[in-house]
Amino acid sequence: MTDTTVIDRTHDLSQPLERLGPDETMKDRSDYLRGTIADGLLDRITGAVPSVDDVKLMKFHGIYQQDDRDLRDERRRQRLEPAYQFMIRVRLPGGVCTPAQWLKLDELARAHGGETLRITTRQTFQFHWVLKDSLRPIIQGLHETLLDTVAACGDDSRGVMCTVDPQSSRFHAEVAALAKRVSDHVVPKTRAYHEIWYGNERVAGSDPEEPFYGRTYMPRKFKIGFALPPSNDIDVYAQDLGLIAIESDEGLAGFNVVIGGGMGRTDQAPETYPRLASMIGFVPAGRVIACADAVMAVQRDYGDRRDRQHARFKYTIDDKGLDWIKNEIERRMGFPFERERAFDFASNGDSYGWNTTPDGRHHRTLIIENGRLDLKLLDALRDVARLHRGAFRLTANQNLIIAGVKTEDRPAIDAILAEHFPDSDHVSTLRRNAISCVALPTCGLAMAESERYLPTLLEKIETILAENGLSDEPITVRMSGCPNGCSRPYIAEIGLTGRAPGKYNLYLGGGFHGERLNRMVKENIGEATIIDVLAETLGRYARERQPGEHFGDFTIRAGIVREVTEGRFFND
């Protein structure tokens, strides 16, 4: 596969730096993400990284400084500094890793990551509870199995997602390989990571350090995802750049291109809103990288660098107009988009249990509640990894596929799973379609519980469903501990976002396969009101629904919520 177009990769930043936000100056002065991180790691007086700028720069290296929020008040009372620790996010394009990589991740999590790993909503692993002295051992350990954490966070292109299920399409392997290629292509090129974390010497060169990103990188994070219909497991409409694979009789024809998706909003700031990505046309498979370059370059050059709350691509598109943006992308690509091709999504969930692909390989999807791998699950999966000869695939719903199992290996894997996951096949339909973000106690932005609370709330919703004969009805439920929406709650049929401890906004009316935003029906409510509203609405759904009608569609048809037609009208 070759790309026929080379775009101008010079950084033609149109806005003078001195008039931009402080983060732009910080990036500009960072010497391509080096800052003083290496010195800060040596500081023995604090468990933190002392420079505020370095804390921000470390995000570009996949690392977040956090503190244990359960201990915050007590430590303040004791006049101790917060219990600083770090979260490390791995870059894992398409969510695929080998058994050898799994064993290394497991070893590092046991040694340095509080004996837990977290599968994220963008198909990767996070280590939590990492102390400053353990940062290098983890990153160097990952390097031994060719894993890294470059650009897992920061103002750059984040982990590239790809539909995970190998049975979704005969072109799955081809598209997954392309997702990996795009990820490698858009990753920052600075050698800062190698110097700081691997101890490599700085080598002077004549080539620009960041031929695409320049000194100030992107205005904000940028997210890319590939979806293979009929599966929209990656929520392609939540991506800054979404690519929907289109097949033809001859093979993989190319991709429909959608741009400008994003979830984040701020309560009581109507100028911030979630937005579903807009369709702008079709590109042949061989031109995807040229397209990604052009789309990112437009956001790089026109994204708002003064106000980070307004800096995502969705706002650039709405400010400039979709037609203007599309024309600018085409100008930079050097060719026009073709008319979008027909496709159908059926769901954004995972297919559970064992499945077999035409190549005779077997794939087992395991439900990992909220993506949390505790010691018990780590033990079981370490046993699997020791004998597995295929791959592990992380899903965007925070689940896990033991993929590519040979027939002769299946009984041994079944035996391990039967011992450690006896209930895996009996998890309720509701839980199979539920996601929560991490939130407390590690997330610094959390306003309410999410991962630690959703299982309890689901029990109560399960009771309502059982009373109404709806237990087998798939309904998507997503909870986030704040309005940032890391669980993509604004496209769930039932969405909850944290407002304060024990208080949530409740949203209804999202599309079952991620095609429509929901709308807030109650603000700042506690569990009792959540349950009352759901009992009434689900009761009506049981009595009044039409055959095959999804809950989200019903709430709109029944007039319980007004349909959101565009992101900017979300707050109306």
* 89 catalytic residue (yes or no): yes
Nearest to ligand SRM of 106, 451 (CB atom): 451
Regarding 466 and contact with ligand SF4 (CB under 6 A), the answer is: no
User: Which one of 393, 437, 499, 519 is the catalytic residue?
Assistant: 437
Q: What's the rounded Cα separation, in Å, for the pair 426 and 422? A: 9
Q: Could you say which DSSP state residue 80 is in?
A: P
Sites of contact with ligand SRM (CB under 6 A): 64, 66, 87, 89, 120-122, 124, 126, 158-159, 223, 235, 238, 262-264, 312, 371, 437-438, 442-445, 484-486, 488
Please state the closest distance from residue 421 (CB atom) to ligand SF4, in A. 26
Instruction: Report what 277 binds from ligand SF4, ligand SRM, none; CB cut-off 5-8 Å by kind.
Output: none
221 as an active site residue: the answer is yes
One-letter amino acid for residue 295 of the chain: V
Single out the residue of 232, 397, 450, 555 in contact with ligand SF4 (rule: CB under 6 A): 450
Query: 223 contacts which partner out of ligand SF4, ligand SRM, none, CB within 5 to 8 A by kind?
Result: ligand SRM
Nearer to ligand SRM, 229 or 262 (CB): 262
Q: Which does 243 bind (CB under 5 to 8 A by kind): ligand SF4, ligand SRM, none?
A: none
Helices (H) and strands (E) in the chain, counts: 17, 20
Instruction: Choose the binding region for ligand SF4 from 42-50, 244-252, 433-441, 459-467 (rule: CB under 6 A).
Output: 433-441
> Residue 10 CB: number of other CB atoms within 10 A?
11
Q: Based on the residue annotation, tell me whether 452 is a catalytic residue of this protein.
A: no
Is 443 among the residues that bind ligand SF4 (CB under 6 A)? yes
SS (H, E, C) 377-396: HHHHHHHHHHHCCCEEEECC
Binder to ligand SF4 among 83, 400, 482, 491 (CB under 6 A)?
482
Q: What gap in Å lies between CA 390 and CA 377, rounded to an integer?
A: 19
365 contact choice in ligand SF4, ligand SRM, none (CB below 5 to 8 Å, kind-dependent): none
Note if 300 is an active site residue.
Answer: no
Q: Is 438 in the site for ligand SF4 (CB under 6 A)?
A: yes
Residue whose Cβ sits closest to ligand SRM: 264
Task: Tell me whether residue 291 is one of the annotated catalytic residues.
Answer: no
Residue 442: name its binding partner from ligand SRM, ligand SF4, none (Cβ under 5 to 8 Å by kind): ligand SRM
Are 267 and 505 contacting, i.e. CB atoms less than 8 angstroms apart?
Answer: yes
Within 8 A by CB and 6+ apart from 459, the residues are: none
Alpha-carbon distance of 532 to 171, in angstroms, equals 46
Choice among 91, 191, 215, 223 that is catalytic: 223
CA nearest neighbour of 315 among 269, 255, 267 = 269
304-320: burial string, b at 16+ Cβ within 10 Å, e else: bbeeeebbbbbbbbbee
Q: Is 153 among the residues that bind ligand SF4 (CB under 6 A)?
A: no
Q: Which residues contact residue 396 at a Cβ distance below 8 angstroms, ignoring those fewer than 6 apart?
A: 95, 121, 122, 123, 161, 164, 233, 234, 235, 348
Q: State which residue, 443 or 458, has the beta carbon closest to ligand SF4.
A: 443
Cross-strand pairs, 372? 118
Residue 153 annotated among the catalytic residues of the structure: no
Q: Which partner, ligand SRM, ligand SF4, none, binds residue 489 by CB below 5 to 8 Å per kind?
A: none
Minimum Å gap between C-beta 262 and ligand SRM is 3
Asked if residue 437 binds ligand SF4 (CB under 6 A), the reply is: yes
- State in angstroms the smallest separation of the CB of 480 from ligand SF4: 4
Taking a C-beta distance cutoff of 8 angstroms, is the pair 326, 294 a contact? no
351 binds ligand SF4 (CB under 6 A): no
Residue 396 interacts with ligand SF4 (CB under 6 A): yes or no: no
Please name which of 62, 121, 148, 158 lies closest in space to residue 368, comparing C-alpha atoms: 121
89 binds, among ligand SF4, ligand SRM, none (CB under 5 to 8 A by kind): ligand SRM
Task: Specify the residue, 404 or 481, whose C-beta has the smaller distance to ligand SRM.
Answer: 481
Asked if 378 interacts with ligand SF4 (CB under 6 A), we say no
Strand order in the sheet with 400-405: 96-97, 391-394, 400-405, 362-366, 353-356
Q: How far apart are CA 244 and CA 285, in angstroms?
A: 11
Residue 481 contact partner, candidates ligand SF4, ligand SRM, none, CB within 5 to 8 A by sort of partner: ligand SF4
| 3-state class (DSSP) for residue 220 | coil
- DSSP alpha helices (H): ranges in 14-92? 22-28, 37-42, 52-60, 72-77
437 as an active site residue: the answer is yes
Which of the following is catalytic: 27, 220, 221, 265? 221
- Residue whose CB is less far from ligand SRM, 101 or 442: 442
Of 13-21, 100-108, 160-168, 479-487: span binding ligand SF4 (CB under 6 A): 479-487
**56 touches, from ligand SRM, ligand SF4, none (C-beta below 5 to 8 Å by class):** none
Residue in 502, 392, 490 with CA at minimum distance from that of residue 439: 502
Q: Which of 305, 392, 236, 341 is nearest to 17 (CA)?
A: 305
379 burial class (0-12, 13-18, 19+ CB within 10 angstroms)?
middle
Residue 295 interacts with ligand SF4 (CB under 6 A)?
A: no
Query: Do 459 and 408 contact (CB within 8 A), yes or no?
Result: no
Q: Catalytic pick from 153, 162, 291, 443?
A: 443
CB distance 567 to 276 below 8 Å: yes
Write down the catalytic residue from 97, 153, 291, 486.
486
Is 224 among the residues that bind ligand SF4 (CB under 6 A)? no
443 catalytic residue (yes or no): yes
- DSSP characters for 476-516? -EEEESSTT-TT-GGGSSEEEEEEETTEEEEEE---TTS-S
Q: Which of 97, 153, 162, 482 is catalytic?
A: 482
Among 342, 343, 95, CA closest to 228: 343
Q: Which of 160, 401, 486, 496 binds ligand SF4 (CB under 6 A)?
A: 486
Beta carbons of 370 and 477 less than 8 angstroms apart: no
- Which residue among 258, 439, 464, 496 contacts ligand SF4 (CB under 6 A)? 439
Which residues of the shown chain bind ligand SF4 in the complex (CB under 6 A)? 437-439, 443, 445-446, 450, 480-482, 484-486
Would you please indicate which residues are annotated as catalytic (active-site) residues? 89, 158, 221, 223, 437, 443, 482, 486
